Amino acid sequence: MPRRLAGVIVAVLAGALLVVPGGSASAAVSDVLIRGVGSARCLTPPASSTTSATIQNCASQRWSTTDAGQITINGQCLDAKGELTANGTPVITYACHGGANQRWTVNSDGTIRGAASGRCVDVKGQGTAAGTVVQLYDCNGGSNQRWELVGGGTTPPPTGSGPDLTGFGLLRDYRFGTGSGRNVSNLATNFNPYGIAGTTVINNEWQRYQPFNSTNHKITSDRLELTAVPNLGGVYNGGISSGQITTKETFYPRDGRTYVFSVRAKIPRGSGAWPAFWLYAKQAPNTPSEIDVVEFFDTPTQNTFDWTGYDHGDGVGSNYHSIMTNQWVWHPGFDFASDYHTYTLVWRNGQIEKWVDNTWVKGTNFTWQGSDPQLLVNLATGGSNNNNPNAATFPSVFSVDSVKVWVKCPNGTPTNPTTSCHPTNG
């Protein structure tokens, strides 16, 4: 997504998670949120069976579905009130009885359709505010009628073989933690606390990055914790300190080189948190190119379930591979903040690939424009295209286990890789 010095703001709507691609009714699932695509709020049962279900902020509204087409929560079934079928019929929860007004199909287009009525579960008036009621209405394809079933963080990430590292030599292995011999003082051996922007505030972000210190760059026995805290005055724009690291050296896949960059990290939850791993020019003039290997936004339509790996600036071409939910977001159905994940970029001249764990998410034709880039890992808060943080956000911790760089040299072989083609710099 356009960000940092580029400063372009793009509104992103997370697309519906296709529950059963190519099918009509889903297999039974349990312990899921039912999140509205248009509102990013979750289907919530009413306090009593006489009032309508509503949309509310997503929390503990865990639903299950059955092979018989029931959608259940707290021992009750989603129900078209009074066995009615007309537009505007309230959607409620009621004691399960097996009636047609309690049977639903969860469709590949994101709609939930009543078996008796043929109408869709609809957020009334295309509302997005918390407390908006849910009803039956003629299916029209609107985002207020599209839903995604989101796992509660227990769904494992997809598996695969991962990027092929045959012939690559491990160039840099930045493992963090006191067990690796690293401390705040020697972070400066390989990293700077600022990128090309220095201390300049960009994107209306609320944090102010600090020199290396034990508060914003906390090193434990096994990780680096980039930490944002409101110790510069409070929870407002400029009142928050945070940490980032930027490599002193730069990388570019010229002369037949191919690079692989990875970070293994656990992202924070919380309003306004904005962790990222990206590449940007180390030196002026500002480059029109930027590669975001991964970033996570907190917006009305995105959260820690939504991987973003946007490519922007001059030189961006077409995607030749993508499993993304829409142009900007991959929504696999699990909470990335629940555990550590490995985020990887493969960069050969003219092409980039982005991976999550062992899954290839995106491949793009890309020609870098500008001076050679450095790697950056940072934790921002707030900003032009992000929610504002609040007191509950802090401390916000982006836990980084390691940053690694591999290079494949044209003079290496699969059985005898070398890193000698990487020019010493930085």
Tell me the sheet residues that pair with 136.
121
Helices marked H in 170-312: none
Summarize pLDDT for 177-199 with one digit per residue, the tens: 888 888 898 899 999 998 877 78
Tell me if residue 370 falls in helix, strand or coil. Answer: coil
At 239-248, the pLDDT tens digits run 999 999 999 9
Residues 138 and 176 in one domain: no
Residue 17 pLDDT greater than 70, yes or no? no
Contact 281, 373 (CB under 8 A): yes
CATH number, residue 71:
2.80.10.50
Q: How confident is the model at residue 321 (pLDDT cuts 50, 70, 90)?
A: confident
Q: Assess if residue 4 is contained within a domain.
A: no
pLDDT bucket at 133, cuts 50 / 70 / 90: very high
Supply the range of the domain harboring residue 394.
169-408
Neighbouring residues of 41: CB distance < 8 A, sequence distance ≥ 6: 35, 55, 56, 57, 58, 128, 130, 132
Strand partners, 77: 72, 94
pLDDT at residue 285 in the model:
64
Q: What pLDDT does 175 receive? A: 93
Asked if residue 164 belongs to a domain, the reply is no
Q: At 309, phi and psi to the nearest 5?
A: -140, 75
Q: How much is the mean pLDDT over the chain?
A: 87
Task: Give the pLDDT mean for 132-160.
Answer: 76
Distance CA(366)–CA(288), nearest Å, equals 12
Q: How far apart are CA 275 and CA 267, in angstroms?
A: 7
Q: Which of 127-131, 189-193, 210-214, 281-285 has the lowest mean pLDDT?
A: 281-285
- Residue 91 falls inside a structural domain: yes
Judgement on whether residues 222 and 291 belong to the same structural domain of the protein? yes
Instruction: Looking at the structure, tell me whether residues 80 and 116 fall in a common domain.
Output: yes
Peptide bond connecting 395 to the previous residue in cis, omega within 30 degrees of 0: yes
Are residues 125 and 174 located together in one domain of the fold? no
Q: Provide the b/e sequence for 254-290 (b: ≥16 CB within 10 Å).
A: eeebbbbbbbbbbbbbbbbbbbbbbbbbbeeebbbbb
CA distances from 114 to 18, 83, 84 (A): 18, 11, 11
Tens digit of each residue's pLDDT (9 = 90 or more) over 334-361 = 999 999 999 999 999 899 999 999 899 9
What confidence category does residue 23 fall into, taking pLDDT thresholds of 50, 70 and 90?
A: very low
Residues above pLDDT 70, as percent of the chain:
90
pLDDT, residue 156, reads: 42
- 230 and 322 assigned to the same domain: yes
| Closest-CA residue to 350 (of 256, 215, 213, 413) | 256
Tens of pLDDT, residues 99-118: 999 999 998 778 999 999 99
| pLDDT tens readout for residues 220-273 | 999 999 999 999 999 999 999 999 999 999 999 999 999 999 999 999 999 999
Side-chain-facing half-sphere of 344: CA atoms under 13 Å: 20
Tell me, yes or no, whether 207 and 318 share the same domain.
yes
State if pTM tops 0.85. no
Q: Is residue 1 part of a domain?
A: no
Residue 150 lies in a domain: no
Q: Is residue 329 part of a domain?
A: yes
Number of domain units in the chain: 2
For residues 137 and 198, membership in a common domain is answered with: no
Q: Does one domain contain both 256 and 393?
A: yes
CATH no. for residue 352? 2.60.120.200
